[in-house]
Structure 1
């Protein structure tokens, strides 16, 4: 198995893990979001803590997609490949901030002498912050990253152009949707907001499965220059 074939499989696996981590985390920490006065309860909620662990898995997988893809994508366009890595790292950082806000709510439940009204106020603020991270992480940063990756896949022909076009459309739609939510055109968790997230979800699943079972287009790889470093430390194409 060649290095690029292994890279394709790894990228596909990381993309699948992002979907598993995001969906599982959202389902598992639902009590924090849906139970009124959750912070005033006592004890540790194992489901919510498990959800936090899935968020950690999501962060690792988000960064993993970019790190695994960079060596291949940089052979086609180093600047755009680096921009994609940056977008994914930004997304991971924003998700981490949201995870920490949820974890802080759980920690607040362990404060036996805190004033209930103050606890609820702080918890509400932390949950609002978590909503904001969902908007700018798996919303805006994800959309921009999807456009960057899909554009590289389209111009390089590493995967079928139909998959790349789906990524371009999905990334554009979720980015525009985020802007629409910011301006109050509809709610973040409204039916419209969920529907517009579907194209980017389908793009990531389609790309993941193609890379795992088919890999990169061999002819496209052969057309790409191989990059090395000269005696002065500068990157050169060969």
Structure 2
């Protein structure tokens, strides 16, 4: 294989990796938003339904759980699929990103289990006289959502991925800055909710989440449309920053 052909294969592989990563990032939006705001709403808004009162939320919760299972796979995929690209610039950051995504996925899974248990106890009639159990399972879901997508998403996508992209130049620096700003804001707002400084779902928390939301969505769209930048920077052993061809 000639040198030219090898470079072409590297460019194609890098482009495919970027496209796959971008679509996985978009999938996290397509699955998480309807699961939280639509399919889980009947249970989150009416925890007393665990007693058997009101309409049956089984199908709605099951659909939400299915979407969030896909979400977990997509979350982990956004870190695993581009790992070989990211580790060229920082193996520690690449590993840290995978670990943070796994932790986030674990909390999402706990939230899924809490709402599926809610539905099971309603079906079995074991909570017919204990409506407080509904509040307990919904509270568990809310706290896992706060720590998983609320806290660790800020650490993973905002702080770790944002810094890695800014440092490597794989995406435009101005785009990566959104993550560097949004990540700490999401983490800070999550901590503020934990300490009851602000209310969960408040306007303040919504505003704090907006830069991270824009960063993640823009990052996914950019990778689908443009791919990773082929000229990026990586730190040299002496700490300087050296430009090189990312396809090599």
Same fold (TM over 0.5): yes
Aligned length: 225
Q: Report the Cα offset of residue 36 of structure 1.
A: 4.9
The aligned runs of 1:114-125 (5 Å cut-off) are 114=126, 116-118=128-130, 120-125=131-136
**2:153 aligned with 1:128:** no
The answer to whether the aligner puts 1:28 opposite 2:39 as a matched pair is: yes
Does the Cα contact within 8 Å between 2:43 and 2:57 map onto a contact in 1? no
Query: Alignment partner of 2:82: what SS?
Result: helix
Alignment RMSD:
1.9
Gaps of 5+ in 2: 1-10, 234-242
User: What's 2:98 paired with?
Assistant: 85
Pick aligned residue for 2:227 from 184, 206, 215: 215
> 3-state SS of the aligned residue for 2:88?
coil
Aligned to 1:17: 27
**Distance in 1 of aligned mates of 2:165 and 2:34:** 28
Counterpart of 1:223 in 2: which secondary structure?
strand
Q: Is the CA contact (8 Å cut-off) linking 2:83 and 2:94 kept in structure 1?
A: yes
Q: Give the Å deviation of 1:115.
A: 5.2
Equivalent residue number for residue 232 of structure 1: none
* Structure 1 residue 101, shift from structure 2 partner: 0.4
State TM-score, norm by structure 1. 0.89
User: Would you say the 8 A contact 2:52–2:128 is kept in 1?
Assistant: no
Instruction: Report the equivalent of 2:165.
Output: 153
| C-alpha deviation, 1:117, in angstroms | 3.0
Give the corresponding residue for 2:83: 70
1:31-86 alpha-carbon deviations (Å, 9 max, x no partner)? 00112511122756322211111111111111110101211000110011100110
Match of 2:215 in 1: 203
- Are the counterparts in 2 of residues 25 and 55 from structure 1 also a CA contact under 8 Å? yes
**Deviation (angstroms), 1:224:** 6.4
Gaps of 5+ in 1: 227-237
In structure 2, the partner of 1:231 is none
Question: Which among 135, 141, 152 is matched to residue 152 of structure 2?
Answer: 141
User: Is the CA contact (8 Å cut-off) linking 1:29 and 1:47 kept in structure 2?
Assistant: yes
Give the CA deviation at 1:214.
0.3
TM superposition shift of 1:152: 0.7
Residues 40 and 166 of structure 1: is their aligned pair in 2 closer, same or farther, counting only changes over 3 Å? same
Quote how far apart the aligned CAs of 1:185 are: 0.8
**Alpha carbons 2:48, 2:135 under 8 Å: kept:** no
